[in-house]
Amino acid sequence: MNWCILYLFLFGPFRNTDKSFLCNIILDDIKQHNEVFTSSVKNTTAYIKNVIGNKLEEDTIKKITILQNQLEIIRKNLNSDSK
């Protein structure tokens, strides 16, 4: 919020102005900050989910690769035993 406006309404030439007008300005400012904060939290949450998702995906791919390698070793052993 613009602190100059607040100062003008509290101590300056507008101090006798209707206080509900000042309250509405403050309320609008709080709403805007809340929207920015909420948006920031949503963006951060999405980023974290994306990073964690990518990490889990990488781990899963590594485990699948390990399992495929183990399966290939088992196949080779079975083929050599059957000969």
pTM score, whole prediction: 0.42
pLDDT tens-digit map of 10-59: 776 666 666 677 677 777 777 877 777 788 878 888 888 888 878 888 88
Q: Does the structure show a pLDDT above 80 at 69?
A: yes
Do 29 and 1 touch, CB atoms closer than 8 A? yes
Q: Report residue 15: phi and psi, to 5°.
A: -65, -20
Number of residues written out for the chain: 83
DSSP, collapsed to helix, strand or coil, labels residue 83 as: coil
Q: Which residue has the tokens 């507008």?
A: 14
Residues 6+ apart with CB under 8 A from 6: 22, 26
Q: Does the structure show a pLDDT above 60 at 65?
A: yes
